[in-house]
Structure 1
């Protein structure tokens, strides 16, 4: 499977110690991977919310003479089919373009999952945590709820944390006192400050933080022990999150592999649901 533009950018940044400003530029480039080879340094600076000289220093930090050299490199490594798709994109309306962008995000996720070890490690961590707190605020609340809904069918104690406020730290502390060893977080743009605070608090309480975010350069990366990236779409007024949702389901599968009684719990639920007439067949 050929790598998508986001995957190639991730590889370009690997091994470099980036400043917070440079990480912000890298994060912006990953989110706009298909557009970056065609952006000027001024346009990229505006998108990332930094100064134009910061973009130049970022390119030099990656080993290039300047931003033009970085852009030439990105254009050279872009495969022919990617450039053709970019040109063909003009034939799509804005709704179709959003769908095509999500398809590319899913292709990128498939490429990331070619190495299953991070997800398998995350599955073991989640399966072994009793209870298992699942955090997601604002834009990520739906992702956290969906994971927690299905996880509760196989995991004995799942605790959904989808509301912020002063009680959030208390609920994390309660989970840690009850024996939790890990916390799963879904973090999507725009990132609430209290999510970062909550993750730092969770680590301070001894929990291993597993985070699903839209990029390895997301602000929550520094407060996560294991970050699993899944890009969001940015072509519409509000971001689309098909890849993070699918990654959540993949994590559920990996967690089930670490729960020896998962299948028995599912069968027990199905039996109870049939007895109650819970679903219309």
Structure 2
């Protein structure tokens, strides 16, 4: 029976049952499919010890044999042994499983409804892990202290990075958005570090571009602290991240939905404002300038 690895930085935002699950999985080299299964179990920690391998496969959107291979990859003889370990860890609430099964049988949902309900579940999970505010507060202190502050997001993560940088620039004196790849990207990271940057915040959403890993490698080489908002603590960027803040994406539609990562970004902005002594005055100055220019119609 494998032993439970020690607590790591990547699961610092997930106290309680979710954190205990993360510690069980930490230190194992998992395939993308296996990371998806692990992430589904973390998100459904209250139900995990009472789910069948078929139900786990349905939650993760994988085949039942993939769940068995996942258990073996963790060092167990099969899924029953893994489920037994989950119960011994004191995880789970059988009533939650019964309630979910009843809901599945009683409610008929179309594809659009299911996508919305998935996003609601992602936000509820985010609310539960934010019960421990320390990881967000630590990230906020790092972001507020960095001059300049680098905000990185490529491809699917570009929109989240752009939105964060747009609002951050209203309160932070020097925000630099990195939302395009190419040979200049690494130059901009190195130049920012030379200008005094100490922290880079990265939005990493699937599918994760190879260029993103190259950019984070350059950031670490330049001595920057990396804070990452990712779809999972098992994202490929985890090994290049100093402080991981996971927020699940929805995959019910043809393109992923990212309400929880966006919400986590706004939570970080709020916490960063609290760490910046001049944030309120900068906002007031912006509002006065905007009014003078007639920038907004309402």
What interval of TM-score do these two structures reach, taking the shorter chain for normalisation? 0.7 to 0.9
Q: 2:215 aligns with which of 172, 188, 198?
A: 198
Q: 2:62 aligns with which of 44, 47, 66?
A: 47
Q: 1:80 aligns to what? A: 95
Decide whether the 8 Å contact of 2:68 with 2:79 is kept in 1: no
Alignment of 1:173-212 (within 5 A): 173-212=190-229
Q: Bigger shift: 74-83 or 131-140? A: 74-83
Alignment of 1:203-242 (within 5 A): 203-242=220-259
Decide whether the 8 Å contact of 1:41 with 1:56 is kept in 2: no
When residues 96 and 79 of structure 1 are mapped into structure 2, their CA distance, relative to the original with a 3 A threshold, is farther
Decide whether the 8 Å contact of 1:27 with 1:218 is kept in 2: no
Q: 1:70 aligns to what? A: 82
In the TM superposition, what is the alpha-carbon distance from 1:111 to its structure 2 partner?
1.0
Structure 2: gaps (5+ residues): 1-14
In 1, Cα distance between equivalents of 2:175 and 2:132: 27
Decide whether the 8 Å contact of 2:25 with 2:38 is kept in 1: no
Decide whether the 8 Å contact of 1:22 with 1:54 is kept in 2: no
Q: CA RMSD in A?
A: 3.0
How many residues align structurally?
273
Decide whether the 8 Å contact of 1:134 with 1:148 is kept in 2: yes
Q: 2:6 aligns to what? A: none
SS in 1 for 2:30: helix
In 2, Cα distance between equivalents of 1:253 and 1:25: 34
Decide whether the 8 Å contact of 1:41 with 1:67 is kept in 2: no
Decide whether the 8 Å contact of 1:31 with 1:215 is kept in 2: no
Q: 1:161 aligns to what? A: 178
When residues 270 and 210 of structure 1 are mapped into structure 2, their CA distance, relative to the original with a 3 A threshold, is same
Decide whether the 8 Å contact of 2:37 with 2:56 is kept in 1: no
Q: 1:269 aligns to what? A: 286
Q: TM-score, normalised by structure 1?
A: 0.86
